[in-house]
């Protein structure tokens, strides 16, 4: 058996020993967006470090724990802090928490990220992810396919659920939130892109760029979750403004949009169809 699968099975057993809770929705909170966890009526928090076999998040602004609880009546689990390829994790390691959330029962995945804007440059813009480009990074599905987790060649024509997108759009409209939409492209990082890379991304059809999300969404679709993705534009992408890029600025910008994004996610989760 492949090493990551051994670790995943170990982590699942370790999690089940510590938490007796079946979430319907898994939520990934991106850079600077971890504050959303405060709107969860918490039942249990579980630091990744207490789960045997689980990699740890090392990035500033990422706490590194699962938060189990309720949003309204809906049982959820939120990842406060995600894992990134640039931390040195393989794609299979990066998606381990996604697979864990699915194995504990989550049928939906709500994934957020901080992103550099190509089509949208205003800081704090929220962008519904309609599709993605993952071809710059390794697939988490490379290697042995375990049929209990999904098929060898999963379809990606609707990586992001139109049904969930429609719910989010209605919520945005009713609450006066200006929700843009577009294609997200993932780079490895950790360095921000060059202006030439951003021109390439734009020519390939990307509206926003970042260092996460697409590998997670691939794993989520593989295992059968329905996905809603939202980017928070924290800066114009490289070369599209006079300034330079920094992680501190990204976190600060994400803080500004946090409340709006929180409302959007909360209301959308409450309206998700029963599964």
Which residue, chain included where needed, has tokens 């049904």? 163
Q: Which one, 68 or 192, has the nearer CB to ligand HPA?
A: 192
Q: Per rule CB under 6 A, is residue 118 in the interface with ligand HPA?
A: no
Residue 245 interacts with ligand HPA (CB under 6 A)? yes
Question: Is 126 within 8 Å of 231 (Cβ atoms)?
Answer: yes
Active site residues: 31, 62, 84, 86-87, 114, 211-212, 235, 247
Judged by CB under 6 A, the stretch of 21-29, 92-100, 108-116, 154-162 that binds ligand HPA is: 108-116
Task: Map residue 84 onto helix, strand or coil.
Answer: coil
Given the complex with ligand HPA, which of 161 and 234 has the nearer CB atom? Answer: 234
Beta strands in 48-176 (DSSP E): 65-71, 74-80, 108-117, 126-133
For residues 35 and 47, which CB has a smaller minimum distance to ligand HPA in the complex? 35
Question: What tokens were used for 200?
Answer: 């390439």
> CA-to-CA distance for 36 and 52, rounded, in angstroms?
26
Instruction: Compute the least distance from the CB of residue 113 to ligand HPA, in Å.
Output: 7
Would you say 8 or 250 has its CB closer to ligand HPA? 250
204-230 burial, b for 16+ CB within 10 Å, e for fewer? eebbbbbbbbbbbbbbbbbbebbbbbb
- Candidates 77-85, 130-138, 146-154, 209-217; binding stretch for ligand HPA (CB under 6 A): 209-217
Interaction between residue 207 and ligand HPA (CB under 6 A): no
Contact 238, 210 (CB under 8 A): no
- Structure-token pair, residue 265: 């996610």
Query: Interface mask (CB under 6 A) for ligand HPA, residues 162-201, using x and -?
Result: ------------------------------xx--------
- Using an 8 Å Cβ cutoff, are 132 and 48 in contact? no
Q: Which of 65, 181, 234, 268 binds ligand HPA (CB under 6 A)?
A: 234
Q: Are the C-beta atoms of residues 31 and 255 closer than 8 Å to each other?
A: no
Number of amino acids touching ligand HPA (CB under 6 A): 13
Is residue 40 near ligand HPA by the rule CB under 6 A? Answer: no
Q: Is there a contact between 53 and 7 (Cβ–Cβ < 8 Å)?
A: yes
Nearer to ligand HPA, 193 or 207 (CB): 193
Using the rule CB under 6 A, is 109 a contact of ligand HPA?
A: no
The rounded distance, in Å, linking the Cα atoms of 65 and 80 is: 5
Instruction: Report whether 90 contacts 219 (CB < 8 A).
Output: no
Among 8, 19, 28, 115, binds ligand HPA (CB under 6 A): 115
User: Least Å distance between CB 29 and ligand HPA?
Assistant: 14
Binding site residues, ligand HPA, CB under 6 A: 114-116, 192-193, 209-211, 234-235, 237, 245, 250
């Amino acid at each position: 058996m492949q090493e990551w699968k051994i670790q995943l099975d170990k982590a699942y057993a370790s999690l089940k020993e510590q938490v007796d809770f079946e979430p319907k929705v898994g939520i990934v909170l991106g850079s600077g967006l971890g504050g959303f966890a405060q709107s969860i009526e918490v039942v249990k928090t579980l630091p990744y470090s207490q789960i045997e076999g689980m990699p740890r998040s090392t990035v500033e602004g990422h706490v590194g724990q699962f938060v189990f609880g309720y949003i309204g009546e809906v049982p959820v689990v939120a990842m406060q802090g995600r894992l990134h390829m640039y931390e040195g994790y393989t794609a299979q390691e990066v998606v381990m928490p996604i697979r864990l959330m699915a194995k504990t029962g989550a049928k939906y995945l709500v994934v957020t990220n901080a992103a550099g804007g190509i089509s949208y440059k205003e800081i704090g813009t929220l962008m519904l992810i309609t599709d993605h480009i993952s071809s710059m990074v390794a697939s988490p599905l490379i290697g042995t396919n375990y049929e209990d987790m999904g098929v060898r060649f999963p379809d990606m024509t609707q990586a992001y659920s139109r049904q969930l997108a429609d719910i989010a759009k209605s919520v945005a409209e009713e609450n006066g939130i200006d929700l843009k939409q577009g294609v997200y492209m993932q780079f490895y990082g950790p360095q921000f892109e060059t202006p030439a890379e951003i021109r390439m991304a734009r020519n390939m059809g990307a509206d926003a760029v970042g260092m996460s999300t697409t590998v997670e969404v691939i794993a989520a679709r593989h295992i059968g979750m329905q996905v809603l993705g939202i980017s928070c534009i924290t800066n114009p992408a490289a070369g599209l403004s006079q300034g330079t890029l920094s992680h501190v600025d990204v976190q600060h910008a994400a803080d500004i949009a946090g409340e709006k994004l929180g409302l959007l996610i909360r209301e959308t989760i409450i309206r998700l169809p029963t599964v």
